[in-house]
Chains A and B, each alone.
Chain A
Amino acid sequence: MSTFVSLFIYGLSEGAILALAALGFVLIYKATGVINFAQGEFLLIGAYTFYTAFVILRLPIVVAALVGVVAAVIIGVLVERFILRPMVGQSHISIIMVTIGLAGLLSALVQMFFGTQPRSMPPLFPRNQLEILGAHIPANRLWVLLVAGIVLTLLTLFFQRSKHGIAMRAVADDQQAAMTVGISVRRVFALSWALAAVSALIAGILLADVTTVEMNLVNFGLLVFPVVILGGLDSVPGTIVGGLTIGLISQFVAGYLDPGLAEVAPYIVLVLILLVRPYGVFGEKRIERV
């Protein structure tokens, strides 16, 4: 029982981080139709900017987080403005190749400045062991879960209720019609890239707290694909459920079966979902009505 509880909590916290990273991916796909293969690198960049501000520059944690957010917004907007916007109207394959190129560029930049040595960060959250139903859980896992949960809730509310969230969904639905009601499509594109970079930043920071700051964070970013395929490429709630599910699956497989198998388990899910329900569990089937 105690194994189950600890695997469950580890899985949830990992899944919540995954959901955050994947949410950025879904935001971009929904609003702009671009499949962003550089989402994992956004996560990496986010973790390293925060590391720079917090550890190297010794800024207080709140200030460091703000620096990270500002940097993420700037990177997101710049990428949209100078890399993706010139590609408007190009084929999907070209755009995918551009984001793959961007991924290589970003990770190379990180290696250039920080090298490949893992960096350790002072703990952001208390690490005392808590006893829950007989299982010993480090408190920071619960903190990570809490922070990720709050951010996900805020983003969902933003999407559902706010003026700009509705504008983003309107653009995702019909770009020309969005123009006729006075929504600036360019601004919405910039906003979705900025939000994607910020959610990747937060995911990166949380992940760095439970592991270390290193290049391998990119591999975690790759897990975004099983998450979005499972949840449906264009569904926000689907992404959250997908993230938690993939997190739980990989923890349970690692705990009960084999840690090696846990590495591939998410991709087995990916293939199965593609075979059975290609638009994902929560994905929208396009409403067609004339």
Chain B
Amino acid sequence: MTNEPTPVAAGDAHLRSAESAAAGSSPAGTTGPGTLLTIDNIEVIYDEVILVLRGMSLGVAEGKIVALLGSNGAGKSTTLKAVSGLLPSEQGEIASGRITFAGEDITRLDPADRVRRGLSLCMEGRHIFGHLTVAENLQAGGYTASAKEDRLDFVYEFFPKLADMRSRTAGFLSGGEQQMLAIGRALMANPKLLMLDEPSLGLAPLLVEEIFSTIARLNAETGLTVLVVEQNAQTALSVAHHGYIMERGRIMLDDEAGALSQNPDVKEFYLGIGAGDKKKSYRDVKHYKRRKRWL
């Protein structure tokens, strides 16, 4: 399983072999009744040649916060794009496998229909409508929703700052304000599942904390299910119930968030804490980075 004589993942982590992943075994503990989103063994190809997801499976239980972690290029964002139907706009396609949301197969559904069914994506890099005002951004977010006024009050309750800036041009907001607007805009569609792609991108640590505590509050107070993709593994695991680790287009490891953050491999590779629980420093120019191959 591993190329080096490293200890096998501790705890009850499900370290799955290539065969079982290819066979499409669904991730343990997250399927069955109560599962809102199931990704079942999908393959995603860009431009008809670049295979990005190779037998990716994942489940999100209703009412939970699930974190999807992994290094750059692992395929986290592609996973979210596959779920929200954005792949065709980037010359990508789901070659095999299926995605089920609330019991329905949505693998080939139009993106707008997915939003109508309660699936909202908040894209990486915020992607707010820069030339529209804050209020207009939110109105656009509620394009598919019926009771807009209630939603607007709801969003302003969770992001009171937005209420004070409703007539300002969104492009001139600060990064943190834009991120709040992006999440608020996604909430306007009244989603059952909110997918967040790197909400911490380019934000100061304090703001990251604020955003994640709002996400946790949304989950606790309204039962909103959240699937969050993050580089900032520690912060994500601190609010998540369950975590998945992704590497080179498939899930390598999944576990309860608490157990995952105690896992020595996860600690070393994603949390940056080496043996002896010391944080690695960039100053140690010649520090040795242990490589690990999962397969």
Contact = CB atoms under 8 A, between A and B. Distances in A.
Interface string A48-83: 000000000000000000000000000000000000
Interface in B59-118: 84-86, 89, 110-112, 114-116
Given A284-B131, A287-B130, A289-B130, A181 B141 contact: yes
A174 B120 CA distance: 16
Interface string B120-149: 111101011111100011011101100000
A175 interface: yes
A35 to B, nearest CB: 20
Nearest to B185: A181
A179 B186 CA distance: 11
B171 interface: yes
The bracket for how many chain B residues form the interface is: 35 or more
B201 to A, nearest CB: 10
Contacts of A176: 86, 89, 123, 127
A95 B202 CA distance: 37
A180 B172 contact: no
B188 interface: yes
A175 B128 CA distance: 11
Interface stretch (A142-150, A161-169, A267-275): A161-169
B143 A163 contact: yes
Interface residues of A, number: 22
Interface string B260-292: 000000000000000000000000000000000
Contact of A287 (B89, B112, B172, B189): B172
Contacts of A284: 131
Given A169-B131, A174-B127, A289-B171, A179 B86 contact: yes
A261 B25 CA distance: 78
B132 A184 contact: no
A222 B178 CA distance: 41
A182 B185 CA distance: 11
B169 interface: yes
Contacts of B127: 174, 176-177, 180
Given A166-B132, A170-B132, A177-B129, A182 B86 contact: no
A2 B120 CA distance: 62
B186 A167 contact: no
A152 to B, nearest CB: 21
A181 B144 contact: yes
Nearest to A170: B140
A173 B139 contact: no
Contacts of B121: 180
A287 B185 CA distance: 19
A103 to B, nearest CB: 29
Contacts of B171: 287, 289
Interface in B164-205: 169, 171-172, 175, 178, 185-186, 188-189, 202
Nearest to A184: B112
A263 to B, nearest CB: 36
A183 B172 contact: no
Given A177-B127, A180-B111, A289-B130, A166 B139 contact: yes
B143 A182 contact: yes
A290 interface: yes
B131 A180 contact: no
A173 B130 contact: yes
Contacts of B141: 181
B294 to A, nearest CB: 31
A12 B139 CA distance: 35
A146 to B, nearest CB: 30
A98 interface: no
Nearest to B91: A89
A180 B143 contact: no
Closest 10 CB pairs of A and B: A182-B115, A287-B171, A182-B144, A177-B127, A173-B129, A170-B140, A287-B130, A179-B111, A182-B112, A180-B121
21 contacts: A166-B143, A169-B131, A170-B129, A170-B140, A173-B132, A175-B89, A176-B86, A179-B86, A179-B89, A179-B111, A179-B112, A180-B84, A180-B123, A181-B120, A182-B116, A183-B112, A184-B112, A287-B169, A287-B172, A289-B175, A290-B125
Interface of A: 163, 166-167, 169-170, 172-184, 284, 287, 289-290
Interface of B: 84-86, 89, 110-112, 114-116, 120-123, 125, 127-132, 136-137, 139-141, 143-144, 169, 171-172, 175, 178, 185-186, 188-189, 202
